[in-house]
Amino acid sequence: MYKLQFKPGFNIPEIVNKFSTPLIIYNVSELNNKITELQSTLPAESQLLYSVKANPNPFIINLLNQAGLGFEVASVGELHQVIKLKIPPGRIVLGGPIKSKEAISSGLKNHILSFNVESEQDLQNIISAANQHLNISIRINPDFSNQSSQLKMGGISSQFGIDENNVIPLIRKYRNDININGLFMFAGSQFFEAEKIIQNTSFLIDFAEKHKEEFSQLDFLDFGGGFGVAESSGQSGLNMNKLRIGLADLFKSKKQFLDKIKYKFFESGRYLTAASAVLVSSVLDIKYSKGKKYIILDTGINHLGIRQLDLKRRKSYISTVKEYDQYSPAILTGATCTPIDIIQSENDFPDVAVGDLVLINNVGAYTATLSPYNFCGFTYPAEVLADTNGDISLIRERGEVETSCGSGY
């Protein structure tokens, strides 16, 4: 039942001997596989943007840059991270529901490719800061709802984008003040049906074609994505072949219109990075309380953040390094001093012993950045990178205990 999902081709206990736990191991081969897989699924005439929010790790950003991806950033922090890593500004798009003054001025100063605008206020803020030619895409919140995504961001009432019927009036109102030359849509994250992603893409193409006369020059279409990653053995993943064929057919049928559009973007975070990392933890204690068994690990809510909500439901995230003959119901917890630090509730779990290793898989996206790692004075785990030869290097030191209760006071 608890198969090793992460087969890096190297010896995890050996790595742990050197770097100790809790430890995040990134697998470059896995990351490369995902980049190739997604790039070869999307139409050749489109470009892929990496959503930095999934994981801003500089090593990941550098690898994606080498693969020729562009970058979608959603804050001044993410913008500075990619600028610092020498990502060409012509491959950076700035999004986010409302951009800070700092983000706007840094985006302008660095001549990034484009701003994805999400409200009239957002647009006005950019207009009042801009004294130069820049590219603006308007994010549409469509009227139709594609109910299948797990994290809906469009087709519903939300803080994201501009309701479909307000998009054209907004463009008319401001098109003499600023160069609005793109449209963007991000309907949600975790779509598992290829048809839904194809429908979203098709909607944006149709909308753009219908309203093309509203733009002096329509240069950008950003279709978003939301490419789903299966998170348990019971869940079937996104059918990439179906997606590839569907998108290719769609692009072919709209070729005449799309050929005139310079940039045709898709965005992805999770699909690219989720499977590339595993969190290795040690069993610190095994105890029984009022008839229930507890396995306490040296990782928990402080490293897994909101992923814990998924983990409780989806046991296949978790695996072990060794094979075990015996299983019994157990509650897996972290070691922080809060009753909400539950990693997995009463499923059968291998009869591990104190000191054994437990692996939390798929932690390459929305884990490190969505975790309160200093909670309770705990620290961030060390991170190592396994390159394509299996060579291991330390890429991030373990957090310091001295600053774990905050610094700068």
Ligand X SMILES: Cc1ncc(COP(=O)(O)O)c(C=O)c1O
Residues contacting residue 252 through CB under 8 Å, at least 6 positions apart:
none
Binding residue (CB under 6 A) for ligand X from 152, 270, 307, 315: 270
Instruction: Report the residue closest to ligand X, judged by CB.
Output: 269
Q: At how many degrees (to 10) do helices 76-84 and 58-66 cross? A: 60
Binding residue (CB under 6 A) for ligand X from 56, 269, 334, 364: 269
**Considering beta carbons, is residue 55 or 308 the nearer one to ligand X?**
55
In the shown chain, the binding pattern of residues 10 to 49 toward ligand X, with x for contact by CB under 6 A and - for none, equals ----------------------------------------
DSSP string over 114-179: EEEE-SHHHHHHHHHH--S---EEEEEE-SS--TT-SEE-SSSS-SSSEEHHHHHHHHHHHTTTS-
Q: DSSP 3-state assignment of 303?
A: helix
**Considering beta carbons, is residue 271 or 378 the nearer one to ligand X?**
271
The separation between CA 322 and the C-alpha centre of its own chain, rounded to angstroms, equals: 30
Residue 155 lies near ligand X (rule: CB under 6 A): no
CB of 227 to ligand X, least distance (A): 6
CB of 11 to ligand X, least distance (A): 31
Rounded Cα distance between 338 and 375, Å, is 10
Q: Which whole-number Å values give the CA distances from 53 to 30, 61, 197, 252, in the listed order?
A: 19, 11, 21, 32
Binding residue (CB under 6 A) for ligand X from 23, 48, 52, 54: 54
Do 308 and 300 contact (CB within 8 A), yes or no?
Answer: yes
Rounded Cα distance between 306 and 311, Å, is 9
The piece of 174-182, 232-240, 267-275, 349-357 that touches ligand X (CB under 6 A) is 267-275
**Considering beta carbons, is residue 51 or 302 the nearer one to ligand X?**
51
The piece of 57-65, 207-215, 238-246, 263-271 that touches ligand X (CB under 6 A) is 263-271
CB of 120 to ligand X, least distance (A): 18
**Residue 17 exposed, middle or buried by CB count within 10 Å (0-12, 13-18, 19+):** exposed
Residue 51 lies near ligand X (rule: CB under 6 A): yes
End-to-end alpha carbon distance in the chain: 48
Binding residue (CB under 6 A) for ligand X from 6, 59, 266, 271: 271
CB of 401 to ligand X, least distance (A): 32
Q: Is 217 left (phi over 0), alpha (psi -120 to 50) or beta?
A: beta
Residues contacting residue 169 through CB under 8 Å, at least 6 positions apart:
none
**Considering beta carbons, is residue 50 or 380 the nearer one to ligand X?**
50
Residue 189 lies near ligand X (rule: CB under 6 A): yes
**Considering beta carbons, is residue 48 or 342 the nearer one to ligand X?**
48
DSSP string over 74-113: -SHHHHHHHHHTT--GGGEEE--SS--HHHHHHHHHTT-S
CB of 199 to ligand X, least distance (A): 17
Could you tell me how many residues of this chain bind ligand X (CB under 6 A)?
A: 16
Q: DSSP 3-state assignment of 66?
A: helix
**Considering beta carbons, is residue 150 or 236 the nearer one to ligand X?**
150
Binding positions for ligand X, 197-256, rule CB under 6 A: 224-227
Binding positions for ligand X, 90-119, rule CB under 6 A: 95
Residue 186 lies near ligand X (rule: CB under 6 A): yes
The piece of 10-18, 261-269, 279-287, 339-347 that touches ligand X (CB under 6 A) is 261-269
CB of 142 to ligand X, least distance (A): 14
Residue 268 lies near ligand X (rule: CB under 6 A): yes
**Residue 216 exposed, middle or buried by CB count within 10 Å (0-12, 13-18, 19+):** exposed
H or E element, residue 365 = none
User: Under the rule (CB under 6 A), what is the footprint of ligand X?
Assistant: 51, 54, 72, 95, 153, 186, 189, 224-227, 267-271
